Structures are given as structure tokens and as C-alpha cells.
Amino acid sequence: MNKVYRQHRKKTAGFTLVEIMVVIVIIGILAGIVGVNVISYLSKAKVNAAKTQIASLHNAVNMYKIDTGEYPDNATGLSALVVQPPGVTNWNSDGYLDGKNEIPLDPWNNEYEYLYPGSFSKFDILTLGADGVDGGENENADIYNSDVVNKTQSSLGG
């Protein structure tokens, strides 16, 4: 009787190849669904980070204008927020970016662009998005300070 039990146990122990394949397919389907959602959230997070950085740079440029009486020119651009340009007086010795000594890159590791005078406001600060090319949609869309600041003010009732 002990021999019969051992033979029966060998036949029922473990999983069949079909059962393992079904589990692998289910895991693959779930990973595909979760992966798409995670990529979508990461994409949105980068866009939101760019908007936040642009709003911060916009405010810093305005503080620069209040202190010096003029906006940074195109030659110095955003670097005027961290390094005093020659001939500029009343520049804040701490800079305008909370003690940072360099301008942050956008979430796609590109430099923010600065234009004075701007096309959409007194000055433009922008990123060309993930693709680094003018135009685009979603993560590839260009983000301008005029869009970010206007939407923020609208949401605050201003």
C-alpha cells in the first residue's frame, strides 16, 4: 500500500506544462496593462514637472526685473538668474533660484529656451517637450510660461 501511495504522489505532484503556460500568459497580460499605465503616468509627471519648473523660472525672471529694472537679454538669458551679468546693478547676490548655481534642465534633459521680448508675453520661457522639436502633442507638446502662468492664474480666480 505504501508503494501505491508513492506512485500516486509522483503523478499528482507539481504543475503541468499547460498550467505553467496559462500562468505565464496571465502574468504577461497583466504586465502589459500595468506597463502602459505606468508609462502614461511617467509621461504626465514629466509634463507637470516642466510646467512647475517653468513657473518657477518665470517668477525668478520677474524678481530679476524688480531688482535690476530690466529683463535679462537674449545674450545672457536665464543664466542671469544665477550669475550676475556684467554691468547689471542691484542684482541679488544670492541669485534668483533659491541658492542654485545653475539653471535646471527640463525633464527630458534639454535646456529651457528664453526669448526677450517674447512672442506670447513680455518674455518667453519654453521647452520643446520630449521630442525637442517645435510643435507636437501630449508629451511632445511645447510648453510656454504664458500657458502655465495664465492657467495657474485662471485656476486661482485671477
Q: Which residues neighbour 51 within 8 Å (Cβ) at sequence distance 6 or greater?
A: 143, 148
Of 31, 114, 27, 126, the residue nearest 73 (C-alpha): 114
Of 155, 156, 130, 154, the residue nearest 142 (C-alpha): 130
The pTM is what?
0.73
| Class of the CATH-defined domain 15-155 | alpha beta
The pLDDT, as a whole number, for residue 154 is 43
Q: Could you tell me the mean pLDDT of each successive run of 10 residues in the chain, 158 residues long?
A: 57 79 88 76 87 94 95 94 93 88 93 93 93 87 87 46
Residue 113: strand pairing partners: 126
- C-alpha grid cell, residue 105: 534642465
User: What are the residue ranges spanned by the domains of the chain?
Assistant: 15-155
The pLDDT, as a whole number, for residue 153 is 47
In terms of residues, how long is the chain?
158
